[in-house]
Structures are given as C-alpha cells and as structure tokens.
Chain A
Amino acid sequence: MLNRTLAPESKQVDEINFIEPLKQQLDNGIPVFTINAGKQELVRIEFIFENVNWDQNKPLQAVTVSHLINNGTAKLTAKDIAEKVDYYGAFLQTEYGADQSSVKVYTLNKHLGAVLPILQAILNESVFPQQELDIYVQNQKQSLQVSLQKNDFLARKHFAHAIFGDSSYGSNINAADYEAIQQADLLSYFKAAYKPENCTIIVAGKFEQPEFDLLNGVLGKAWNNNDKSVVNKFEFTKGTAGEILIEKPEAIQSAIRMGGLAITRKHKDFPGFQVMNCLLGGYFGSRLMANIREDKGYTYGIGSAIVSLKDAGYFFIATEVGVEVCNNTLIEIEKEIDLLKSELVSEAELNLVRNYMLGSMLGSLENAFSHADKFKNAYFSGLDYTYYDNYIETVKTISPEDLKQLANQYLNTADFTKVIVGKK
C-alpha cells in the first residue's frame, strides 16, 4: 500500500553546468560573445552599448534614442524598417536599461542574411525625424498620465528618486522632460554612444562560423559614429531616510515600497545577501508571503529583492495591500525583519531555501538565451564565472549565524526610505 504521507526520496542539486561563451571579435574590434546551443534554427543577437554622457538636465536623451533608433534613417522611413523586419518574421527590440542600452534582433537563421543589413542601417544612419519625435513625445506623455494613476508606479518612482536623486537611476521624469527633448540632442547622443568602441555583441542560439562571417561581413566594417563619450559613473551617499506618504483619498489599496542602498554583485556579501533576501521575501514560501499573504490575507502578493546596478545596489520590499490593513502590514514587515536580526534561522528552513535556490538556478539555465543572460549578469558587473561558483558555494554552506549577522549589518529599517501611496 502506497504511503502518501511520506515524501519520495530526493536529491539536492549538485551539478549546475554553465555554458561559457566563445569570444571572438569583428574586424572593427567589437567583441562578440556567442552561446552556440539549442536545437531550433534561430538566433538572438544583441548589440549592447554602455550609457554615456549623462546630463541631468536632459534625462530622456538616452532612452529616447533607444526608442527612436528604428524610426528612420537617411534612406528608410520608420515604416520601411518595420516592414522589412516584419516581413522576415524577425523581432527587433530596443531596450534602455539603467546602465546599458541595447538593440536586439530575434530571427530564424534562414532570414539572418536579410535582417542584418537592416541593423547595419539603424546603427549607422538613424536620423531621428522630427515628426517621429513629436509623435513619441505626445504618446509618451499620455502613457505617463495613465501610469501616474497607478499606485505601484508612483511608489517605484518616488522610491527611486529618494535613494538615487537626479542620476539616471532615480530621475523623476515628468511631462515637461518629454517636451524638452530636442532632435539635436538625440543625434549627438547617437553619435557618441552607438559606435564600435562602446559596443559589445552577445549572440545566443544556432550560430556557427558561417553565421559569424555573415555578421562580420555586414557589421564588421567601420561605423559612421565616432564622437567622444564618457561612460556614466555615479556615486551615492545614503538617501533620504523616513517616510514619504502620497495620499490618494479614493484608494482602496495602498502601494508600499521600502528599502535603501545596499551592495552590488561585486561585493563579497552579495550571495549571502541573496540567501537572506530569499528567506525574507524572495520566493513564494518566504516569511513575508507566509505571514502577510498566506496567514493574514492582507495582499495578493508581497516580495523583496536585491538589485545590482553598475554603480550601486539597492534592496526593497514591495506590496499592495488593502488600505485598512496598511498600518498592520508595516508593523508585520518590521516584525519579520527584527526576527531575522534577532533569531537564528532553523536548519530546516535554511535547507529548504538552499534547495529552492539551487533548483531555481538550475531552472534558470533553460536555453541558449538564459545562458547568455547569465553571462551578461557577470560580465557587465566586471565578474567572471567564478562569481557563480562562489554563489553556489555560499548557498550550500552559509550558516544561520552568518545570515543573522548580514541582517544586522544590512537591514537597518531606521535608514530605510519608506514610500506609501494610497492611505494609511
């Protein structure tokens, strides 16, 4: 007779295999890192550019260039570009991140040869037509109006500004910033940032020598842009501690976001911090979820995270709760943090978190794309694969004492910025 009360035997994940990329170089010097894996005949190619020349009076320069780079070249209109990309079933995406901007294309291998020249045109000959800029500004302003009615959006925005001020990590964008965007500023940013010496290419999918040769043939020659640039560099001191309450009398839920500056991936404590974060609010079974959702039913979800940017790390807890339980939620969050600081985590709970995190790491290496993403995380933090060895070792061996010590060192709620949007 089957005993259903007993869990089947299980094993801790002991082997996690990372696929390290092959490093090559285009003739013009752009480094190309390739994860050649997978059965499907497809590939993702990312052109990644460091964000440069930060000017706090023009906070939307880089993000607008990123948005409009596929909106017209000397020879092609925005529609021509879109038609060509779509015709080959490819996806062209531009992405603006805190530290880098990227232009990436997803395509079936059979269309690679047709798609690359479009990228070449975009990366060299974009002109940022005034007409396209006007439409962009109008629509972004409208979209901002909608976002500003969302409590969680407001909480994110005010939190970021409180800890990162007017840097690119925290700038408090409003409608006037959109109106101030000038076409000339876009062109000058484009000329400074989108050039080979500021570019890294990451490839994932089916990509062998013939594909590399194709890429080199189209994008390995000299590029048009070559203006001077300085890669963004920020320094932060402790942000504004204390509470920011944005009252919304009609709210039925309040958005809460609290936390502060923390450490980056380069810091020796980072993997330990990740384990501590996981315990507190980093997975479905975390203490915050168990208490505030699963026991009290105050919210649909609550979580915490540690985020590593190039020049700063930060930690936050975020949730949306019924307005009538907002204060109770704040009290329960404090309680959970105090508990981490005052009591040792049990072996049973810690083992669960270890196994969960190892399984999660294994599961996050699903395909060529995710292997490439792992490489990027390390590479753009100035680290190599020993970072992951160290991470795995820490997850397996960190002690309850270490975690308690980390909580005391890093989770000082008196220094936290606490943003509440809604009612309390």
Chain B
Amino acid sequence: MVDFNRFTLANGLRVLVHEDDTTPMAVLNILYDVGARDEEQDKTGFAHLFEHLMFGGSVNIPSYDEPLQRVGGENNAFTSNDITNYYITLPATNLETAFWLESDRMLSLAFSEKSLETQRNVVCEEFKQRYLNQPYGDVWLKLRPLAYKEHPYRWATIGQDLKQIEEAKMEDVKAFFKKHYHPQNAIMVVGGNVKTEEVKALAEKWFAAIPAGEPIERNLPVEPKQTEARVETVVAEVPLNAIYMAFQMPDRADKNYQVYDLMSDILSQGQSSRLYNSLLKEQQLFSDIHAYLTGSIDQGLFIVEGKLVEGVTMEAAEAAIWKELNAIATEEVTVDELTKVKNKSESIIVFAEMSLLDKAMNLAYYELLGDANMLNREIDKYHEVTSSRILEVAKQTFVKEQSSILYYLTAQDA
C-alpha cells in the first residue's frame, strides 16, 4: 500500500506527496506527458534528445547537475514511447534545492547552442552504443515498423536513424519545449522524509508562477486491426539465429491488460514457466526464450523472442512456439498454475514498495493513466483474472494473421 496526498496548483500542475519517514532521503519525480509517440515522423528521436537538453542549463541556473551534487543529490531521467520522466534523490533536508532546479527548467531553458551541439553527439554515440554496435542491437528498429503501420509506436525512442538527430535545430527545440513542457502537461511526485504541508508551500513558492501553457490535444492515429501475417528476415553478423514474434494487444487501460501480463508469466516467468521448460529444457530448441509485453499506454505488443540452439531449423523452432501458444489458447490453465503467477505478481508489487524511487515513479505513472489510486488496486485486478478469461484472450491474440515475425539470421546460415 502506497499512501499519498494530492493537490493541484492553479496553473494545473498536479502534485502528489508520499510521506515515508523510514528514510532520511527525499525524491522529487516529474513526469512530462510526452514521449516518442508525440513526435513527427521526420523528427523522430526528438523527445529523447530533448531529455538530454534538459540538463544543459535553465533560464536562471547555468548548470543543472552541479548545484544538485553540491547538496548531496543525484538525478537522472528516461524517455519512453509514452513519457519523459525526470527524478532527483537527495537528503530530505535539502529538498528545496530540487524544487528550485526543477521549477526553473519548467519555466524555461537556457537553449545554448553548445549544449545542443554536444548532446546531438552524445545521443548519436548512445545510438551507436546501444543499437548499432551490439549483436541484435537493431531488433527494435526493425520490429516496430513491422508491427505498427499507422501509430507512431512504429519508431523507437532513440529515433529512426542518426540523420534525423544530427539535423535537429534550435527552433525545433524551442517549439518542442513550448508545446510540451509546462505545468498542465506534468505530474510531480514528492516522496520520502517530507510533510505534505511543507511540499505544498514549496510547490506554491517555486511552481505557482509558471504559466500554465496551452492544453494539448493528442490525436494519434489508431493502429488498425491486423489481418495479414507479416514477416521480415534480417541477415547479420551474429552468432545465432533468433526469432522475434509480435502480437497486437490492447492498450494499458484495457480491462484485459492484467490477463496479458499473467499470460506472459505463465509462458515465461521463471524456471517453472512453460516456454522455459518445454522449449529450452525438454526439447532443447532454444538457448534463450522469453515472452513479455511492451506495456505501452496505447495498443501494445505481446512479444515472444528466442535464440535458437545451433543446428535447429527455424521452422521447427517456430512451430514449437506456436504449439505452446495454441495450448494456452485451447486449454484452460490449472488452478495451481494461475495461483502461482498471481502469487508472483503479488510479491513483485510488495517488493517494489522497498524502493522510494520506484514508489514515486509508480504514483506518477498511475496518475497519468487516470488515478494514482490504481497503483494500490493493481493487485486486485490480478486476483480477479480467471482461467476462462485467459483462454478467451489467448484465443483472440495468438492468431497468425495478427502476428509480425522477424527472423534474425546469422550470416553463416544465409
């Protein structure tokens, strides 16, 4: 159970406070409701590049990191296809420094050319390090455009290619800031050794004067229901053949989201899971096999991916995956198996409460989904899942016509 208080400033900034006096630390987490899905298709990778620029100094404060480190704090941020999330942890006695820094960069950035130049390079190196200079590193650059044809999830957070990042201009940066970085588009969570009244006073002091900004109407294309199987083959200098299968699934708020999550657990959570036992241990077709959800806010993907044991044919490997997917779509899971994955979900939720930062991030994310209280009701949704719902959902999902399959082949076999 993660308790919290909630209030909204006149400019629309939503603030949540989680008091936890077992720690001497505080966390200030700001989620901006902007991600790669909000980019234009000729300016992809921008939300993430912008995240880097948020550390390049703000209108009144030339350096963001230095004053924070000076008071014993640390910070970081991440960008996903849906959101951009910034967080600070620091000794609670120095909480006001976090308000000072975060409010100034919500007010306005320094927009320095030097910072833009450097961060373009840094992001290009990040692109190379994570996506290009790694075996299988570009899988998501290939799989996304295969599985999505309309929705902007068809590109990865890092962007479609290096070129679009290299071409980012200061005017784009300014326009992006004006549109997305303002109180109405943000959710702030303050947690740790803090009091709600103190947070209220600090929020008023530092954030109340920031102009509300224009509300954003998000009008993203809906990904149409897939009716034909899609297949792509990539040949690369990798040591092992691999397969990546993506199935369309509903959005995060859908009533069946937890059913999908439990399905992925039945297939792939831990060493008692079906894919691990059947495909890796018994049939020895894969040296590595996983099923998981992308967990996106709009329509997501259910992924099955694996690396084949040398000598196993792709046909045999794929057929064996389909057999497991068909099994979950034709036979109800047993009471024990369902209890097992529910117990595991409960554990994961309780263990996540050990970390102050995780709690703060989760509160912000669930507030974005509609109500932070849903975080505390999540476990009930898992408990309510029945084996007949799993059967029904699996039947609708694991259909050839709704699959996108990427065969990633080693150059030696091609």
Name A's B-contacting residues (CB within 8 A).
Answer: 2, 4-5, 7-13, 15, 17, 37-42, 70, 78-79, 81-83, 85-91, 106-108, 111, 135, 138-139, 142-143, 145-146, 148-151, 250-253, 283-285, 293-300, 320-322, 351-353, 355-356, 358-360, 362-363, 365-369
Nearest-CB residue, chain B, relative to A37: B22
How many angstroms between the C-alpha atoms of A40 and B97 in the bound complex? 30
**Beta-carbon contact of A143 and B121 below 8 Å:** no
Residues of A within 8 A of B133 (CB): 151, 251-253, 320
Q: Give residues 58-107 of B contacting A (CB, 8 Å).
A: 59-61, 65-67, 69-74, 89-91, 93-94, 96-97, 99-100, 103-104, 107
Task: Name the segment of B30-38, B318-326, B335-343, B387-395 touching the other chain.
Answer: B335-343
- Write the nearest CB–CB distance from B27 to chain A, whole angstroms: 10
B125-139 vs A, Cβ < 8 Å mask (1 yes, 0 no)? 110111011111000
Q: Are A79 and B69 also in contact (CB < 8 A) when A11-B94, A90-B347, A297-B122 are?
A: no
Nearest-CB residue, chain A, relative to B137: A150
- A8-B99, A299-B125, A322-B125 provided; 19 other pairs, C-beta below 8 A? A40-B354, A70-B271, A81-B271, A82-B271, A86-B340, A87-B343, A89-B345, A142-B239, A148-B239, A150-B134, A283-B69, A296-B121, A297-B118, A297-B121, A297-B122, A355-B72, A362-B91, A365-B24, A367-B23
**Which of B132, B339, B351, B356 meets A42, CB within 8 Å?**
B351
- Write the nearest CB–CB distance from A197 to chain B, whole angstroms: 30
Nearest-CB residue, chain A, relative to B353: A40
**Beta-carbon contact of A106 and B351 below 8 Å:** yes
Nearest-CB residue, chain B, relative to A356: B69
**Beta-carbon contact of A4 and B100 below 8 Å:** yes
**Beta-carbon contact of B343 and A363 below 8 Å:** no
Nearest-CB residue, chain B, relative to A361: B72
B355 adjacent to chain A (CB < 8 Å):
yes
**Beta-carbon contact of A8 and B269 below 8 Å:** no
- Pairs across A and B, CB under 8 Å, 27 listed: A7-B70, A8-B100, A11-B71, A70-B271, A79-B277, A79-B281, A86-B270, A86-B344, A87-B343, A89-B343, A138-B284, A138-B309, A139-B287, A142-B240, A142-B307, A149-B237, A285-B66, A294-B118, A296-B121, A297-B120, A298-B121, A300-B123, A321-B125, A353-B69, A355-B70, A359-B94, A367-B22
**Beta-carbon contact of B69 and A297 below 8 Å:** no
**Beta-carbon contact of B117 and A297 below 8 Å:** yes
- Write the nearest CB–CB distance from B54 to chain A, whole angstroms: 14
Residues of B within 8 A of A81 (CB): 271
Nearest-CB residue, chain B, relative to A351: B70
Q: Are A142 and B309 also in contact (CB < 8 A) when A87-B343, A108-B347, A367-B354 are?
A: yes
How many angstroms between the C-alpha atoms of A81 and B271 in the bound complex? 9
**Which of A11, A148, A252, A352 meets B69, CB within 8 Å?**
A352
B369-408 vs A, Cβ < 8 Å mask (1 yes, 0 no)? 0000000000000000000000000000000000000000
How many angstroms between the C-alpha atoms of A353 and B70 in the bound complex? 7
Residues of A within 8 A of B240 (CB): 142, 145-146
B206 adjacent to chain A (CB < 8 Å):
yes
Residues of A within 8 A of B122 (CB): 293-294, 297, 299-300
Counting contact residues on chain B (CB < 8 A from A), the size range is 35 or more
B346 adjacent to chain A (CB < 8 Å):
yes
**Beta-carbon contact of A40 and B355 below 8 Å:** no
**Beta-carbon contact of A363 and B89 below 8 Å:** yes
Residues of B within 8 A of A356 (CB): 69-70, 72-74
- Write the nearest CB–CB distance from A168 to chain B, whole angstroms: 25
Residues of A within 8 A of B277 (CB): 79
B409 adjacent to chain A (CB < 8 Å):
no
Residues of B within 8 A of A79 (CB): 271-272, 277, 281
**Beta-carbon contact of B97 and A367 below 8 Å:** no
**Beta-carbon contact of B69 and A295 below 8 Å:** no
- Write the nearest CB–CB distance from A407 to chain B, whole angstroms: 21
- Write the nearest CB–CB distance from B56 to chain A, whole angstroms: 9
B288 adjacent to chain A (CB < 8 Å):
yes
Q: Give residues 151-195 of B contacting A (CB, 8 Å).
A: none
B248 adjacent to chain A (CB < 8 Å):
no
**Which of B71, B129, B135, B345 meets A10, CB within 8 Å?**
B71
**Beta-carbon contact of A253 and B129 below 8 Å:** yes
How many angstroms between the C-alpha atoms of A307 and B331 in the bound complex? 52
How many angstroms between the C-alpha atoms of A120 and B74 in the bound complex? 41
**Beta-carbon contact of B270 and A82 below 8 Å:** yes
Query: Which 3 A-B residue pairings sit nearest by Cβ, starting from the closest?
Result: A359-B72, A297-B121, A89-B343
How many angstroms between the C-alpha atoms of A143 and B347 in the bound complex? 29
Residue in A11, A352, A368 with the greatest tally of chain B CB atoms within 10 Å: A352
Q: Are A38 and B354 also in contact (CB < 8 A) when A146-B240, A253-B125, A300-B126 are?
A: yes
Nearest-CB residue, chain B, relative to A9: B96
Residues of B within 8 A of A88 (CB): 343
Residues of A within 8 A of B119 (CB): 297
**Which of B121, B310, B336, B353 meets A87, CB within 8 Å?**
B336
**Which of B69, B205, B281 meets A2, CB within 8 Å?**
B205
**Beta-carbon contact of B66 and A352 below 8 Å:** yes
Q: Are A362 and B336 also in contact (CB < 8 A) when A2-B209, A321-B125 are?
A: no
Residues of B within 8 A of A369 (CB): 354
How many angstroms between the C-alpha atoms of A322 and B61 in the bound complex? 31
Nearest-CB residue, chain A, relative to B63: A285
Residues of B within 8 A of A17 (CB): 24
- Write the nearest CB–CB distance from B109 to chain A, whole angstroms: 13
Residue in A82, A106, A111, A148 with the greatest tally of chain B CB atoms within 10 Å: A82
- Write the nearest CB–CB distance from A364 to chain B, whole angstroms: 10
Residues of B within 8 A of A145 (CB): 239-240
How many angstroms between the C-alpha atoms of A81 and B277 in the bound complex? 12
B25 adjacent to chain A (CB < 8 Å):
yes
**Beta-carbon contact of B90 and A359 below 8 Å:** yes
**Beta-carbon contact of A106 and B355 below 8 Å:** no
Q: Are A4 and B104 also in contact (CB < 8 A) when A82-B271, A366-B356, A367-B354 are?
A: yes
How many angstroms between the C-alpha atoms of A15 and B72 in the bound complex? 13
Residue in B60, B94, B97, B132 with the greatest tally of chain A CB atoms within 10 Å: B94
**Which of B59, B96, B310 meets A8, CB within 8 Å?**
B96
Residues of A within 8 A of B345 (CB): 89
- Write the nearest CB–CB distance from A94 to chain B, whole angstroms: 11
- Write the nearest CB–CB distance from A283 to chain B, whole angstroms: 7
Residue in B135, B281, B309, B345 with the greatest tally of chain A CB atoms within 10 Å: B281
B293 adjacent to chain A (CB < 8 Å):
no
Nearest-CB residue, chain A, relative to B27: A363
Q: Are A139 and B351 also in contact (CB < 8 A) when A82-B271, A250-B237, A366-B23 are?
A: no
How many angstroms between the C-alpha atoms of A146 and B306 in the bound complex? 13
Q: Are A360 and B350 also in contact (CB < 8 A) when A142-B240, A151-B133, A352-B66 are?
A: no
**Beta-carbon contact of B346 and A10 below 8 Å:** no
Residues of A within 8 A of B310 (CB): 142
**Beta-carbon contact of B97 and A83 below 8 Å:** no
- Write the nearest CB–CB distance from B106 to chain A, whole angstroms: 11
Residues of B within 8 A of A149 (CB): 134-135, 237-239
Nearest-CB residue, chain A, relative to B62: A5
Residues of A within 8 A of B341 (CB): 86
Nearest-CB residue, chain A, relative to B123: A300
**Beta-carbon contact of A4 and B60 below 8 Å:** yes
**Beta-carbon contact of A40 and B281 below 8 Å:** no
Q: Are A4 and B350 also in contact (CB < 8 A) when A38-B22, A142-B239 are?
A: no
B280 adjacent to chain A (CB < 8 Å):
yes
